[in-house]
Homo-oligomer: A and B are copies of this chain.
Amino acid sequence: MPRHKTPSADTCPVARSLDVIGDRWILLVIRDAFDGIQRFGDFQRSLGVARNILSDRLRRLVEAGVLRARPASDGSAYQEYVLTAMGRGLFPVVVALRQWGERHLFENGERHSLLVHKHSRKPVPFMAPRGQKGMVLSAEQTEVQKVP
């Protein structure tokens, strides 16, 4: 997947990711793209965002290689924005944001949307970092080796 922007010189992958997607509107656009939204007007209605902000975020996402713009599949004059392979790679990021919100930002019994496995209709289980043998790793059990 080609990237069109020079990546930051940072050797921390978290920082480099945030240079591309460290923005609330950007992450909401990505969420909506995973939900199947493709057109400018549909993003706008879903997000209630100003046109100029949405234009800017879509442009940045296309430039970064996260979204691809293509002519609408129905032959109309519209453009569609779809996730590239690089963009679909953000699925764990969106799931992690969702699961943190579910656990910490809703009261008991408060209703929220649910991510389910299409086949079983069951909720997607909590996703956690795991070690080589499959055991869940807490942050305390890990450390970051910096580039010397």
Residue numbers of A with Cβ under 8 A of B are 1, 3, 7, 11-24, 27-28, 31, 34-35, 65, 86, 88-106, 111-120, 122, 124-125, 127-132, 137-139, 141-147
Contact = CB atoms under 8 A, between A and B. Distances in A.
A15 B1 contact: no
Among A96, A102, A116, chain B packs the most CB atoms within 10 A around the CB of A96
Contacts of A23: 22-24
A116 B97 contact: no
Contacts of A27: 14, 18, 22
Nearest to A84: B104
Given A13-B105, A17-B100, A105-B3, A132 B111 contact: no
A55 to B, nearest CB: 19
A27 B119 CA distance: 34
Contact of A147 (B17, B97, B112, B116): B112
